[in-house]
Structure 1
């Protein structure tokens, strides 16, 4: 009788355990989820002509969960693939694309809304959340008036994207940090854009422009939901290197990730001294150890 009761208890416990797995399928993956990182595919721009699928396969193999695309055009799609074809390729290698860099130069010059419409279509196919302005005419940041005028344009685009369930984000270089009176052009941009517009903070460019990144986090809480994690060569600051091999203290930024509002960190490296695929593996492992 005792053995029979124990057996029934055991079976009941196993059943409950199995049920808990069905109800909470990701419970055992929470730690792994925290280690999820992405890569800006511009890092591998020289590899795409050799084969798009090979690049995506190597990115998956290196340990990345997300990719941030770049270079889309209505004519050529993503490196010769249509948006649906590229989405199928990402699915094949268990990758997603929460954000993409889309060229805003022609839109900024002409105000042509059809350009944005094309980006919306592509972003929806990839199930992206963010359409990112990767850079713009640096002259915009020469005066307070031109920055504010640009902010108004971005606000209109943001409203358009919101209706489609998408968000607008802006990615910096160093020229946005030009001092205009008592504020930088970047501060003026952040302060004059709609709160729903988020920012992809390129940590390398911010550090190179001698900005206090932690102060930015505190001043504009929650606005920096995307990061570009790109390390600075210790000898030549104009060069990049693998995460953890350079001079940037990413750990100090990660400690304040909640203040930043971080959702998606992306490794980016624009130049390499070693094989690019080996490099992105090193950066992935080191960033996963930091996040």
Structure 2
């Protein structure tokens, strides 16, 4: 029988061993940093392989795809070919943005089924809906119903469904915002939310308030900073006006499991340097 004293000594030695191994301690205490590949849309559309090599070299371990279609697949290559490149660079496609064709509006599942199959090949965890076309932004009850339907199909395939916001969801319709409708009308056990922090702040809302009112709903974030002089422009994370240090302190209340750096414009001095600078700030100052 192990005595309490022996147990304490062994436990102490085990703890010391962990602390003596920086790489293990790092993986235990640091969240993996992801990148939404739309950030590098000009580069990846020309050369998928070299672009992903540079993403990995910058330190990223997770990516989020975009732009899949039945016709063109991912920038002209198949999900299987993309998975091979990701594996070669130790990258995981945790999530992907899929537009799903007309599904949100008329229920046609053709693109949804293809998206689910692509996400399965990539071994993604989330299939994320990134956008609602302008003519349909006043009928969020229907959108919520479609999200519930898609989420059931995703669950049956081993995936989770998420919804990514911009600013238009925070406009009021008859005294309630589209985002409030989505949060209220979707099944909280099936439909998750990827909160784009830039667009929340840009719309005049407070991410911390959303966390408090809807704890655990925001499993993913887009970490995208706002230019201090022009709110319409992005900037490298840590160089702008968004208080990410305060936001990251509330990650547990949010429910956040994964986050992705995104920068859509205003790269300084170029897109690859921008993603590296964002990675460095996050790894040193936020995690």
TM-score, normalization by structure 2: 0.88
Counterparts of 1:77-156 in structure 2 under 5 Å? 77-142=73-138, 146-156=139-149
Q: CA deviation digits over 1:25-45, x for unaligned, max 9?
A: x99524235141100000000
Q: Which residue of 2 aligns with 1:288?
A: 283
Q: Which residue of 2 aligns with 1:173?
A: 166
In 2, the alpha carbon distance for the partners of 1:192 and 1:242 equals 35
Structure possessing the higher radius of gyration over alpha carbons: 1
Q: Which residue of 1 aligns with 2:64?
A: 68
Q: 2:157 aligns with which of 158, 161, 164?
A: 164
Tell me how far 1:279 sits from its aligned partner: 0.6
The answer to which of 72-81 and 151-160 deviates more is: 72-81
In 1, the alpha carbon distance for the partners of 2:76 and 2:90 equals 21
Counterparts of 1:198-209 in structure 2 under 5 Å? 198-209=192-203
SS of the residue aligned with 1:281?
helix
Tell me how far 1:115 sits from its aligned partner: 1.3
Q: CA deviation digits over 1:238-278, x for unaligned, max 9?
A: 00000000000011110000000001110000012421101
Q: Which residue of 2 aligns with 1:5?
A: none
Q: 1:213 aligns with which of 193, 196, 207?
A: 207
In 2, the alpha carbon distance for the partners of 1:117 and 1:159 equals 12
Tell me how far 1:181 sits from its aligned partner: 4.2
Tell me how far 1:103 sits from its aligned partner: 1.1
The answer to which of 26-35 and 243-252 deviates more is: 26-35
Q: Is the 8 A contact 1:138 1:176 kept in 2?
A: no
Q: CA deviation digits over 1:120-151, x for unaligned, max 9?
A: 11111100011000111234333xxx211211
- Point out where structure 1 has 5 or more consecutive residues left out of the alignment: 1-12
In 1, the alpha carbon distance for the partners of 2:45 and 2:97 equals 19
Tell me how far 1:50 sits from its aligned partner: 3.2
- Point out where structure 2 has 5 or more consecutive residues left out of the alignment: 1-9
In 1, the alpha carbon distance for the partners of 2:133 and 2:85 equals 33
Q: Which residue of 1 aligns with 2:239?
A: 245
| 1:276 matched to 2:271 | yes
In the superposition, relative to structure 1, how do residues 116 and 104 fare at CA in structure 2: closer, same or farther (>3 Å)?
closer
Q: Which residue of 1 aligns with 2:7?
A: none
In 2, the alpha carbon distance for the partners of 1:139 and 1:178 equals 14
Q: CA deviation digits over 1:19-65, x for unaligned, max 9?
A: x99xxxx9952423514110000000011243111110010000001
Q: Which residue of 1 aligns with 2:182?
A: 189
Q: 1:225 aligns with which of 219, 229, 234?
A: 219
Q: Which runs of 4+ in 1 moved over 6 A?
A: none
SS of the residue aligned with 1:282?
helix
Q: Is the 8 A contact 2:128 2:164 kept in 1?
A: yes
